[in-house]
Structure 1
Amino acid sequence: MSALVISRRPVLSRQVARLPGWTVLVVWTAAVLLPLYILVVSCFKTTAEIYDNRLGLPKSWAFDNFVNAWTRANLGQNFVNSLIVTGGAVILTIVVSAMAAYPLSRYKLGWNAVMLGLFLSGIMLPIRLASVELFTLMRNLGLLDSLTGLILVYSAIRIPFAVFIFANFMRVLPSELDEAARMDGAGEVRILFQVILPMVKPAVSIVAIFTAIAVWNDFFFPLIFIFDDRYKTVPLAISVFVGQFRTDWGLVFASLAISMAPILIMYCLLARQIREGVGAGGGMK
């Protein structure tokens, strides 16, 4: 009997030791799920219902808010614009960042640390402090009211982070891969895109999802660079439902739910690669 009591004590002590961690996880889960719950139920409510009972269920589960949000904000065209800008920024960021990270990680150059430091400074400095100068540059280049201008701006902002990610993943690959490819007659471009990049798919997925989220949800740069309704992105289009004296919150929540769909789909497709990338990144030196 005494041996049974002694054997139970370590189990009980381990459970007590885990209690603070589980408490934090439960609180964090509630903090994440509560806004999502409010978003979902508010999509089916009128503005009066939302003000009357924010946490309650809607009186009817009609899709009127989704239909009205799609038609009144012209979300169809705005979705196409956001897809073009986001896709272009993701592709350009991956290509340019991989080309920059390749020599910094695979060659032993004396200025590698300095260059990586410059890229890291690009992560730390807030680009919005240079909004006036950036607006002037975009105007002089004729890139205002242009999706191409947005793609270039977003790519320039995301490249420092992407170079840092790619360089860390490429650095741990064995140098024998490069040497074997050169012996087979492959050039540097072919080595990068046909040998190195397939080996760092988790890094590509991490850069893609983080860039896509940042670009898709951004409201600031379309606001100051886009004036024509034909080139507005989804976050800028949703703002039409927010007025100075009245806001149609039902349409706002429905628009937000619609805008979340592409990012959720992208994350589901890349989730396995992202988990592998996080696990691999934890073992990097």
Structure 2
Amino acid sequence: MTNLDIALHVKRLPGWMVLALWTLVVALPLYILIVSCFKSTAEIYGDKFGLPTQWTLDNFVNAWTKAQFARYMVNSFLVTGGAVALTIIVSAMAAFPLSRYPLGWSSPLLAFFLAGVMLPIRLASVEMFTLMKHLDLLDSRLGLVFVYTAIRIPFAVFILANFMRVLPRELEEAARLDGAKEWRILVSIIVPTIRPAIAIVAIFTAIAVWNDFFFPLIFIFDDAYKTVPLAITTFVGQFRTDWGMVFASLAISMMPVLVMYLLLARQIREGVGATGGLK
């Protein structure tokens, strides 16, 4: 190894140390979560980092049956799936004219959507609760879908519009010459071309909706409509908390989002790589 190679490795050493430290910060909580899923509460208190004395699935079985976790999972799937689908549909229809038509007010309107990303929506919780009450959408999955869709639309419009803006206009011009209408151009040409952007919007929306605890807490009162984050709180009591079941339920709740990310990973990587060409 030459002196130049040694100098190059020394120069890269601080970066590798930062990466190693970040890996430790991320991996340690995941390790604690995984091993705690198979421990009793006494074992967790006794040794947080040690392996369980007996590997058993009792915590998963109890979390699934005692708390009726399947019902909460169905609720979360319905709310998350509905919010993701409605967000993509509405945002695509909004981003298409903003990015493809020569409108003088498209940039200010896009900036208005971007302002929705920066404003903390929880400041309007009282007004949202009043509106939901007047619309008779409290204590319903549909109400949660509308709330999450309204929250995620600004981010989705910003992402989709920027991806649509760099597409060559020859694509839609050729379609118009063939007699295609605007709706057909959007559905058959624009949307398939921006699949990486749609994947980014889908995964970010799904994670935000699936993990949200705040809005189900204030809008849902009936146990039949509660979502997974609320279900996990049933294991936390005033005098005793079954931490083994808490960690098991957290592991179960992570699986759908992890599977979704793995399915969309290629599209997300393509989308992130494509962002370098966005103007």
CA–CA separation in structure 2 for the residues paired with 1:20 and 1:189:
53
Corresponding position: 1:213 with 2:207: yes
State whether structure 2 residue 106 is matched by structure 1 residue 95: no
Match of 2:60 in 1: 66
Which residue in the other structure is 2:175 paired with?
A: 181
CA-to-aligned-CA distance 1:188-232 (integer Å, 9 cap, x gap): 111011100100110010000000000000011000111111101
Query: Any idea what SS the aligned residue of 1:245 has?
Result: coil
CA apart distance, 1:11: 1.3
Q: Does 1:279 align with 2:276?
A: no
**Does residue 270 of the first structure (1) align with residue 264 of the second (2)?**
yes
Note the 1:16-31 alignment, pairs <5 A. 16-31=10-25
SS of alignment partner, residue 53 of structure 2: coil
* Structure 1 residue 73: Cα displacement: 1.3
Structure 1: distance between partners of 2:30 and 2:187: 39
Q: Identify the match of residue 257 of structure 1 among 251, 254, 257.
A: 251
Tell me what 2:5 maps to.
Answer: 11
Selected match of 2:109 from 104, 115, 119: 115
Q: Return the match for 1:168 from 158, 162, 166.
A: 162
Q: How many Å separate the matches in 2 of 1:208 and 1:215? A: 10
Paired AA for residue 22 in structure 2: W
- Name the aligned partner's letter for residue 250 of structure 2: L
What is the rounded CA distance, in whole Å, between the counterparts of 1:132 and 1:210 in structure 2? 26
Give the Å deviation of 1:158: 0.3
Secondary structure at the aligned position of 2:230 is classed as: helix
Size of the aligned set, in residue pairs, is 279
Q: Distance in 2 between matches of 1:251 and 1:218?
A: 20
Q: Which structure 1 residue ranges, 5 or more long, are not aligned?
A: 1-6
Deviations 1:23-77, CA, capped at 9 Å, x for gaps: 1111111111100000000000111110110000001110000000011111111
Are 1:248 and 2:242 an aligned pair? Answer: yes
Q: CA RMSD in A?
A: 0.8
Match of 1:3 in 2: none
SS at match of 1:49: helix
The alignment status of 1:105 with 2:99, answered yes or no, reads yes
CA deviation digits over 1:238-268, x for unaligned, max 9? Answer: 1101122221110000000000110010000
1:122-172 deviation line (CA, Å, top 9, x unaligned)? 000011001011001001100011000000000000000000000110011
Q: Which residue identity lines up with residue 179 of structure 1 in the other structure?
A: E
Whole-angstrom distance in 2 between the partners of 1:19 and 1:190? 54
Q: Which amino acid aligns with 2:267?
A: Q
TM-score by length of 2: 0.99
TM-score by length of 1: 0.97
Pick from 131, 140, 151 the counterpart of residue 146 of structure 1: 140
Question: Cα offset for 1:283?
Answer: 2.4
Distance in 1 (CA, whole Å) between partners of 2:11 and 2:87 is: 44
Query: Percent same amino acid among aligned pairs?
Result: 71
Alpha-carbon distance in 1 for matches of 2:67, 2:180: 51
Q: Residue type matched to 1:148 in 2?
A: L
In 2, the alpha carbon distance for the partners of 1:24 and 1:283 equals: 28
Provide the C-alpha distance between the structure 1 equivalents of 2:276 and 2:171, rounded to a whole number of angstroms: 23
Deviations 1:74-104 (A, max 9, x none): 1111111100000000000000001100111
